[in-house]
Structure 1
Amino acid sequence: MSSVPLSLIVEVKARHDEARDIATFELADPHGRPLPAFSAGAHIDVRLRDGLIRQYSLCNHPEERDRYLIGVLRDPASRGGSVAMHEEIKVGDLIQVSAPKNHFPLKPAGRTLLLAGGIGITPILCMAERLAHTDAEFELHYCTRSPERTAFRQRIAASGFAERVHFHFDDGEPAQQLDLAALVATPDPEARVYVCGPTGFIEAVLSACKAAGWPSDRLHTEYFAGAVTDTTDDGSFEVKIASSGASFTVPADKTVHQVLSENGIEIMVSCEQGVCGTCLTRVLEGEPDHRDLYLDDDEHAANDQFTPCCSRAKSKVLVLDL
């Protein structure tokens, strides 16, 4: 894997179990210096063992400069990142992280509707902190399986915006479960919707909003995992490097990134699922088969960039700006 520029060394100052299978890690400069500023919705890349790099949203107040707080779900289907965080990262450890990046920023709105599913609360909670701090109008709907799997309940209860937060539990009474269709039934031209959580949760929210007539530019998402794609009909195709003219075959069982890396052409990657946008590469000729969750529909339609960590080609050849 190509390395992502990770410019900061931070110390794990504290770890807390926030809910079943969810832990937070408090990171700070080892010498007490201020950390780079961040805005609500931002994340950092964290380097783990064996060059493994994962993204975690910052969930503390965005005006804090003395620490970063990340929340990590121990995922039974983990590709290694969450298990490493839960089992290997200890208080006192020094770890390497990137400066904050934000692909999920808050935008001005007359009203903001925040929806979080499970661990998707991490960037959403940071947004709530910011909106409350600026006296903005908002409400937060937080959906989890059960109370014991609901992180940050005490923090929310102690906050100044607790009355704006609505908890919904899958195993609770019907009255506690989210009536999504009713919540978004009337589009508000002054409002924006922000949603983060499992892919199925996000898709359900987007579908309900679009069915109700919400314009796409008022819907904002942050995915934590890539889309599940049917690879049964995948075939091979060629990628051509514009600068050298070299061509390489990408077989059905390998990604563009893997093939280029095997041939000494390094592209920065991180999530390897088309979520973070780190590997975004310009396409000069050919038609990509987009399989990412990073680019929007208009950017997919333009076909002038793609994510080589997961996307493929519909045309026989892709010419890349490398």
Structure 2
Amino acid sequence: MSGQGPQPEGRYVPPDLYGRPRADRGMRVLAAVGDVLFPLATRSGSRQHRPTPPPAPASTLNLVVADRRYVADGVVRLSLAAPDGAALPAWWPGAHLELHLPSGRRRRYSLCGDPADRGTYQIAVRRLDTGGGGSVEVHDALPAGSRLTVGRPRNAFPFAAEPRVLFIAGGIGITPILPMVREAARRGLDWRLVYSGRTRTSLPFTDELRRFHGRVEILSDEEHGRPDATSLLRRAPAGAAVYACGPPPVLDGIQAAFDASPASGLHVERFASAPIRDGRPFELRLARSGRVLPVPADRSVLDVLAEAVPTAAYSCRRGFCGICRQRVLAGAVEHRDHRLTDTERADGAMLVCVSRARAGERLVLDL
């Protein structure tokens, strides 16, 4: 792909979370040996002759909305570019951007354009009037010409280009899948896509997908009824990898039915938080305002907090990114995240998207 040099056909090891190619294990060993031997071999030289390492790239980009258009009912596509037209950092199918919206909200959206296009990033956002406000803000507050800060592309849903692939997309879940489809077609893989949604007019990018005749199946609820996970997975070639993105009920069904399918691997991207397991009710107290908020067994601290404090920052809702971090002043936390260190937890840090209080406890947040 553009920005990464020619890639060998066949099995591909995707880049890391930030799009950097993964080093070969043997080369890592040689590099480690070199790190030891090189200083010994050059000890006679003065320290001033050592090359200065290049500065680390900035973690955010300042971009402009270069184009904006509706691609389906309630779905707007934004094309983001550098104000000076400079080339943008490379990315791989499955990557996403984190938008820093004018209100202070942070939301992540999958890149749905072509990785070979280094001039623009494209995202598509469905308006959800009953959601957390991020999609409404994208629709209402980002006209063409708007400037905003975004995080560099990150990839927690990389496409490994297995020889046989079944893609399953539900509604706006097509956004990370579309670049994978293009890459699978480019590589000549044995692939299929099943794309479902409420109505055909609510499904973006159907015009482009028509060119993949015979490999794409579009199912609308109004014509075919709601898709059944077991029947969807039957479409997988034997030993295929499955890449799925869509509403939580669709993904939950796919995960439950996967073991009985002919596929051999499952990769899932969720736009919403995962279902809460073994949740128990407790209370949340905001120290600065004194407000006490009940947290039901089936809701997260973030869900409750976002209603009381609409500007509360969050992004992944999965306990990985750390954006929703809050300081706990009192109460025992049941940590369920994948990011904080033991030291950070001991110092009172908590990721409110997934972590909870122990049964009967009250958490006091520094808010």
Task: Using structure 2 for the length normalisation, give the TM-score.
Answer: 0.65
- Give the aligned partner of residue 96 of structure 2: 43
Compute the displacement of 1:214 (Å).
5.1
Does the 8 Å contact 2:102/2:148 carry over to 1? no
Instruction: Give the secondary structure class of the aligned counterpart of 2:222.
Output: coil
- Give the aligned partner of residue 221 of structure 1: 268
Unpaired runs of at least 5, structure 2: 1-57, 285-291, 306-311, 326-331, 340-348
**Partner amino acid, structure 2, of 1:205:** I
- Give the aligned partner of residue 102 of structure 1: 155
**Partner amino acid, structure 1, of 2:218:** F
- Give the aligned partner of residue 288 of structure 1: 334
**Partner amino acid, structure 1, of 2:271:** F
Compute the displacement of 1:169 (Å).
0.6
Does the 8 Å contact 1:269/1:309 carry over to 2? no
Compute the displacement of 1:221 (Å).
0.6
Does the 8 Å contact 2:194/2:232 carry over to 1? no
Pairing 1:8-87 to 2, within 5 Å after superposition: 8-87=61-140
Compute the displacement of 1:213 (Å).
7.0
Q: Larger Rg: 1 or 2?
A: 2
Match status 1:205 vs 2:251: no
What is the count of residue pairs matched by the alignment?
276
Measure, in 2, the Cα distance between the counterparts of 1:147 and 1:104: 26
- Give the aligned partner of residue 240 of structure 1: none
Measure, in 2, the Cα distance between the counterparts of 1:280 and 1:84: 19
**Aligned-residue CA RMSD (Å):** 3.8
Compute the displacement of 1:181 (Å).
2.1
Closer, same or farther in 2 for the Cα pair 1:43/1:269, shift >3 Å?
Answer: same
Compute the displacement of 1:50 (Å).
2.2
Closer, same or farther in 2 for the Cα pair 1:317/1:235, shift >3 Å?
Answer: closer
Closer, same or farther in 2 for the Cα pair 1:189/1:272, shift >3 Å?
Answer: closer
- Give the aligned partner of residue 22 of structure 2: none
Measure, in 1, the Cα distance between the counterparts of 2:242 and 2:319: 19
- Give the aligned partner of residue 262 of structure 1: none
- Give the aligned partner of residue 311 of structure 1: 355
Instruction: Give the secondary structure class of the aligned counterpart of 2:103.
Output: helix
Percent sequence identity over aligned pairs: 31
Closer, same or farther in 2 for the Cα pair 1:113/1:173, shift >3 Å?
Answer: closer
The structure with higher relative contact order (CA 8 Å, sep 6+) is 1
Measure, in 1, the Cα distance between the counterparts of 2:160 and 2:62: 30
Measure, in 2, the Cα distance between the counterparts of 1:128 and 1:314: 44
Unpaired runs of at least 5, structure 1: 238-249, 260-267, 296-304
Compute the displacement of 1:8 (Å).
0.4
Pairing 1:166-185 to 2, within 5 Å after superposition: 166-173=217-224, 178=227, 180-185=229-234
Compute the displacement of 1:136 (Å).
1.7
Moved more, 187-196 or 117-126: 187-196
Does the 8 Å contact 1:279/1:309 carry over to 2? no
Measure, in 1, the Cα distance between the counterparts of 2:200 and 2:161: 32
Match status 1:234 vs 2:281: yes
Match status 1:191 vs 2:240: yes
Closer, same or farther in 2 for the Cα pair 1:275/1:204, shift >3 Å?
Answer: farther
Compute the displacement of 1:94 (Å).
0.9
Closer, same or farther in 2 for the Cα pair 1:279/1:173, shift >3 Å?
Answer: closer
Measure, in 2, the Cα distance between the counterparts of 1:185 and 1:203: 16
**Partner amino acid, structure 1, of 2:267:** H
- Give the aligned partner of residue 33 of structure 2: none
Instruction: Give the secondary structure class of the aligned counterpart of 1:34.
Output: coil
**Partner amino acid, structure 2, of 1:16:** R
Match status 1:115 vs 2:168: yes
Does the 8 Å contact 1:112/1:192 carry over to 2? yes
Instruction: Give the secondary structure class of the aligned counterpart of 2:268.
Output: strand
Does the 8 Å contact 1:62/1:130 carry over to 2? no
Task: Using structure 1 for the length normalisation, give the TM-score.
Answer: 0.73
- Give the aligned partner of residue 243 of structure 1: none
Instruction: Give the secondary structure class of the aligned counterpart of 2:317.
Output: coil
Compute the displacement of 1:135 (Å).
1.7
